[in-house]
Chains A and B, each alone.
Chain A
Amino acid sequence: GAGVSQSPRYKVAKRGQDVALRCDPISGHVSLFWYQQALGQGPEFLTYFQNEAQLDKSGLPSDRFFAERPEGSVSTLKIQRTQQEDSAVYLCASSLRRGLQETQYFGPGTRLLVL
């Protein structure tokens, strides 16, 4: 009965470092979403997977951001050459099926601070 888990919960990176953020969705969930939430803002969509297929990456802010879900379960969001503006909470969500009626279940997020 575990929910969506994310690791690490906190990450401090020096500007220019590469980081990798992990998301473990609820077992069996087909759809997986990544959102970015800056301080005092609402979450903003980054990318969406259906199983292992990345169907929408329109929200990725630059080519420094890359996401994968190679086996259709665990997903990794990678940020290359981090910048201070990348500091935010990165939220992962999953839903059981593809469908507009499906509820998205959110993880606790990874708080990234780039110094």
Chain B
Amino acid sequence: KQEVTQIPAALSVPEGENLVLNCSFTDSAIYNLQWFRQDPGKGLTSLLLIQSSQREQTSGRLNASLDKSSGRSTLYIAASQPGDSATYLCAVRPFITQGGSEKLVFGKGTKLTVNP
């Protein structure tokens, strides 16, 4: 059974700092990995999607890497801002087993606070 772990559970940094969020998964048989942002009382917003054949994806100040063989991904946030404060969730899309679906398997998230 695929399990996704995110470390740390919570992180507090001063504005302007560069930071790294970690995600690990137990089964490397995945199609892709996504990073989401979740704000209180709101749904999930997709930030980056990395296909299993890719090593990294970049969007603005965000860079996500994927090492499928070791079961790890990192989300790098450059020059953090107070508006980056949110919970960041990592999710993998496992290979479809017979009768399965395109569900996502999520970690518990990292709660990020960026202090002005």
Contacts and interface: CB of A to CB of B under 8 A. Distances in A.
Given A56-B100, A103-B49, A42 B31 contact: no
Interface in B38-55: 41-46, 49, 51
A35 to B, nearest CB: 8
Interface residues of B, number: 29
Interface in A83-109: 91, 93, 95, 98-109
Contacts of A40: 108
B102 A103 contact: no
Interface residues of A, number: 31
Given A42-B4, A56-B99, A58-B100, A104 B105 contact: no
Interface in B72-105: 89, 91, 93, 96, 99-105
A48 to B, nearest CB: 4
Interface string B1-40: 0001010000000000000000000000001101010000
Interface of A: 3-4, 31, 33, 35, 40-45, 48, 55-56, 58-59, 91, 93, 95, 98-109
